[in-house]
Amino acid sequence: MPSEQDGVMVILSSPSGAGKTTLVNLLSKLDKFDISISHTTREPRASEKPNKDYYFVNEDEFNRLIKNQEFLEYAKVFNNFYGTTRTPVIDKLNRGKNVLFDIDWQGADQIKNKKLDYKLITFFILPPSKEILFERLSNRDMKDKLIVEERMKQFGRDVLHWINYDYVVINDNLESCYSKIVNLIDAEINNGSKDYDLEFIRRHIEKLIS
């Protein structure tokens, strides 16, 4: 049984282009969460700061961490490795801090299957429509049509993992999506009533995959 003094784990996942990173940045401004900093073998982007956005490591170092069983979870995403080391997360949770994870569905599955003794709340963020997703992906740093097409195909595969999450939230408007997540987390922690319409979500997903 999770203890009331321990922190809560909150996972945010989404297919590429749903706006999850912006949401995580907004949530990180609240005092409520510590963001889990992942290790990755990917090259840093111009806007990213080492040891803040990610711990950027080479494959040898990543493999060493795997071998030493330091990862709580790890996965290959778009040809790069990403992983969450166990010790900083457990230390924070034991000190009563809530930890927010920006990780993909593979990592979310792994953490869920570990059945750790801490409360876990998982969110899957989705775009309002395929058309808007296409627009968002095209306007990003990926002007390359082939990459956008590949990400759209990947979306079709990734979206199917919604079923393994506690909540699916549609990011049609950043402010309302953010409030929905914060309210659901509060309701989960305080056993309050949850404003969540699963049937609406099911219909939305049917449209996205049709």
Q: What tokens were used for 49? A: 């700061």
Which of 9, 27, 75, 205 binds ligand 5GP (CB under 6 A)? It is 75
Q: Is the backbone of residue 101 left (phi > 0), alpha (psi -120 to 50) or beta?
A: beta
- Quote the CA–CA distance of 42 and 55 in Å, as a whole number: 10
Q: Is there binding between residue 129 and ligand 5GP (CB under 6 A)? A: no
Give me the least distance between CB of 20 and ligand 5GP, in Å please: 7
CA 131 to chain centre: 22
Q: Is there binding between residue 83 and ligand 5GP (CB under 6 A)? A: yes
- Quote the CA–CA distance of 106 and 109 in Å, as a whole number: 5
Nearest to 71 by CA among 106, 29, 21, 43: 106
Q: Is there binding between residue 65 and ligand 5GP (CB under 6 A)? A: no
Binding mask 150-189 for ligand 5GP (x = CB under 6 A): ----------------------------------------
Q: Is there binding between residue 133 and ligand 5GP (CB under 6 A)? A: no
* Among the residue ranges 89-97, 102-110, 139-147, 167-175, the one whose residues contact ligand 5GP (CB under 6 A): 102-110
- Quote the CA–CA distance of 190 and 103 in Å, as a whole number: 25
Binding site for ligand 5GP (CB under 6 A): 38, 42, 73, 75, 77, 82-84, 102-104, 106-107
